Structure 1
């Protein structure tokens, strides 16, 4: 691996929860970063990124939009590595795409082709989600014994606690991940680009943004009694058997770890803990009794599915944050932003 001062990387969706944390880490480690935003006139997001140490000399911002996929090309040119983090959560009308799935697949194709054409990009690291890795049987009759990288979410099934937004998100992320992996080197090592898909669990911890991220709001939903966000937590549990969780710092370190390996490609799930919603509620009840956790939150399902994911750890990656640290940091974050009053 060459010295980081000579290495240029691109981060799509640079002002998001994960994107901003990743950009900050990369700058701290000495990389030059090309970061994309949908709107360079959004002063709040631009100012956040420009406030990072090293941003004045090693951060270049580009305007690019998933719904206009060719706009990512200038940001990618001249880079050694590309982190594709950006993903639309809601469909934007008025473009050539009928839904978020069409848009995200088109963007993935365009970004992958830009990487190939650049002549400089060695590896494309896509931020996927464990939502695409359900261990449910194809016929919906039950769960497999474990969840690992061989699991793919069956998109023909309906899940408890689901809604149109969650169905659209699962379809979009699953099909886009399959598409982007198709651009990678095959089993024989042929193909000009190494492609990593790093599927993140539900991300918790702190944030550099000025508000509590939605994934953190989901993780504290049993403290705020936010029914809509609790439904999303239960949806993940019904889809995945339990809820894989990962700290924001660990997932970003994992992304950089995947970049810094001499050679790596393929699909990796990334979560340090695999817990039930009832286990999360029980932790809160024990350690934060001032919030008076409802009994219904403690009565969730208790499945015996194993977390069979070892690929990333076998490569040498080490998680630093356990369940306690993730949930504690979620509470600190929410308190700081006024979303938890006690």
Structure 2
């Protein structure tokens, strides 16, 4: 996005690697913010034309004002949406969602759809053998927040992008967590493999997307003169067996 002439605001500790990119010295603006302090986002949003909401808490902060990560995430997105509307400059709010919000159960709750698309929503209080409460909390959070943010459509353009498991090259000096998930069958990282298997068990398939394509999808939604609603952007669907067979064939 910096290369496409967009100024970026963010947490310095999380985007430090961006400072090495061309034009970062003039297009990168950093703000200190904490998702458990939803009012922190107001000063970062003022003056913007487009707001991209990418963050979801992974672990609950004990003794906070919120009872769980869903409450914290909802408060943050409500604050971001309200600040966007009141700013007078923001025209579009883009939220990065997750396919965990798209459990392909039929509307009557009996059986599953033959496909996963924008009509699929994970029902509240879903009866599913989650590996632990963290997975359950994440699914509830992503689903609740995506529905909440879409409720602001009409007051400004709201777009939600439901991405698959991202993979591909990185400019980081280490492999990010999502990459460890992608290659977890060939490592000793049990937690990463459990995450991969959960996606397959939950959806019946693993939606994947190249990180470059996910970034381009966000930029497309920024630049399109008229767009709103919910969009899926996986570029393919694979199984754990497909991944294993690919690596066995190409990297024996």
Give the distance between the partners of 1:46 and 1:161, measured in 2 at CA: 32
Corresponding residue to 1:214 among 177, 181, 189: 177
Alpha-carbon displacement from aligned partner over 1:173-230 (angstroms, at most 9, x marks no partner)? 0000000110012xxxxxx300000011011112233321111111101111433222
Name the TM-score, length of structure 2 as normaliser: 0.94
Indicate if the aligned counterparts of 1:161 and 1:231 stay in contact, CA closer than 8 A.
no
Matched, 1:177 2:151: no
Structure 1: gaps (5+ residues): 1-25, 186-191, 290-342
Corresponding residue to 1:233 among 196, 203, 206: 196
Which stretch shifts more, 216-225 or 170-179?
A: 216-225
Equivalent position SS for 2:104: coil
Give the distance between the partners of 1:223 and 1:32, measured in 2 at CA: 39
Deviation at 1:162, TM superposition (A): 2.5
Give the distance between the partners of 2:99 and 2:247, measured in 1 at CA: 24
Give the distance between the partners of 2:250 and 2:127, measured in 1 at CA: 35
Output the aligned Cα RMSD.
1.6
Q: Who is 1:252 aligned against?
A: 215
Deviation at 1:139, TM superposition (A): 6.9
Indicate if the aligned counterparts of 2:130 and 2:136 stay in contact, CA closer than 8 A.
no
Matched, 1:120 2:89: yes
Equivalent position SS for 2:2: helix
Judging changes above 3 Å, is the alpha-carbon distance between structure 1 residues 207 and 140 closer, same or farther for their aligned structure 2 residues? farther
Name the TM-score, length of structure 1 as normaliser: 0.70
Deviation at 1:79, TM superposition (A): 0.7
Return the index of the structure with the highest Cα Rg: 1
Runs of 4+ in 1 over 6 A off after TM superposition: none
Deviation at 1:46, TM superposition (A): 5.5
Corresponding residue to 1:272 among 231, 235, 249: 235
Count, aligned residues: 252
Give the distance between the partners of 2:28 and 2:197, measured in 1 at CA: 39
Matched, 1:286 2:249: yes
